[in-house]
Chain A
Amino acid sequence: MIRTRALTKDFVVSRTRTVHAVRGISLDVEPGELVAVLGPNGAGKTTTLRMLTTLIEPTSGTAEVAGYDVTDRPGRVRAAIGYVGQGGAGGAAQHVRDELVTQGEIYGLDRRRARVRAAELLEALDLTEQADRKVESLSGGQKRRLDVAVGLVHRPPLLFLDEPSTGLDPHNRANLWDHILRMRTAAPEPMTIVLTTHYLDEADTFAERVIVVDHGQVIADDTADALKAELAGDLVTLRVPAEHAAALATIAERAPGTRSVRVADGGVRAQAAGRAPGVEQTVEIRTADGPGAAPGLLRAADAAGVDVRRVDVARPTLDDVFLGLTGRSLRETGVDGAAPDPDEPTNAPTSATTKKEVPA
């Protein structure tokens, strides 16, 4: 469905400054896949999407979308894809239904069939009540559902979603995803979906495959579970009296499956009632299988006389994956794009820069 080879995009900002927004991305997406492209703002997600949707031309490399080259046959690509951009699809003064009918006509439906299709989508996306209202009067969640409906009018086999749920509250996000997933399976052949996101849980929950992008390059590409197992591992956290921490660390290092052990700096004064007061420390153990490793660790600690007071087993998040890959936290690097990498200052434009402010 998508095939890119060494796809790059440079934005010439000024005579002395070129932003390498995308630096050689090679990707294959098969029909029916649901892929999340994850990365901090400025990583090149949106720029990649804009190349795949024919909005901008690649600087070099090739991209085939739905079987057609994006540079040579943009008309074919446009006819085959649906696109839900970061912005809204509905004109403020337009009526909800009219926008869907217009979109149907744009894709070649006659007026009658466009009206039928619009009614179907209004029903499917829970917008029937809002059909004859102006777009500007819709709530955030309703607007976003309209954007999705607009992107689906022509039943595209491939749908691009650029940060589909940014700005929605958790309830509306879940609701939007319900609709997207239902529309995906309602299609005769499951729709291929490519989304960009910087919400970790969104990629984690909905995507079957996660592509992590940083500085315009793909740095990981697998299922969320495999990425987490391979790149991060589970985190077992044990709290012990400070004087036992070193002994526990030694035990943990010998335990099967352990990848790394870290004794957290600084003690925590014990608060629990009925215990001798004293300073406690936390030992963090990265291991392939946390729930499987914890009982063994506890038995070994017991045998060595280590007094374990608290146990916590956490499955890794995609943030842990990103941290493992880059040494930076996705949350810190992300959302406002305010933390460019000091080593490569020209490679970290904010996504707003990539999108609007960089003259090409």
Chain B
Amino acid sequence: MIEQSPKLIHAFGALAELGQEVANKNNFQETIRTSLHLLSGALGIMRGGVARYSRYTRELNMLAIRGLGDEFPLSLTVCSEDERQFLASGLNAIDAHAARVLPFFQVYAASFERRNIELFVPLIIRDEIVGGLFLGEKATGEPYSSYEKEIICAMGRHIGVAISQRNLLAEIERRSDENRKLFEDLRRTYADTVKAFATAIDCKDKYTEGHSVRVGKYTELIAAELEWSPDQVEGAATAGYLHDVGKLTVERKIIKLRTALTRKNPPN
């Protein structure tokens, strides 16, 4: 352990920097790229990549790669059997050579061998696969020790959290967009309802036909010309369209009365 102290100190320094990088909420792509650098630099790893997992398409899509070349697939498919095994093993380093029983390592065996991919780490956060780490050989040429795998997993957890946070943010943005569209639909429905009311009011009396609709439109134009805010313009227009709304509850014969309405002169 004593002779490994400098290695540990160096790795812990990288781990601290990674924590800071993830917490800083910089540009997501840049965070992932820097994370890969920190991981490689912590243990002297020659090449590797960080991928984000899409549970809808069951694909690991590369977010950052180093030294993997142009031929390495940027999108890797994961089947249900792989997914089940990854979830069962948790966030642990999987030896790519020893895991050949899994379809994932069989399908991509040639690519992994060509670029010396030795370890794959499924990034699992809150029982969900959010991504994966692909790690090539160490510059020393030695195999990964158990404590190095632990450091990789600790760093992987940070990277996984960064991806998970990003996914969460994207989901919030999507829902907020959906809500905005629903709100717009509601506003349109409200405006249409107000206009329908105005038409109904105008139908009550042939003499003032179209009056409420005209008042609504003119009010809207005047309010806009006065440079009122959109909310104020909308409010004024609504008031214009509905200013005679009381007519709806008044009997038609009273509205059509040609003389003054008095107790002595009730409509027939």
Verify that A and B bind, or say they do not. Answer: no
Chain B residues in the interface with A (C-beta under 8 A): none
Binding site for B on A (CB under 8 A): none
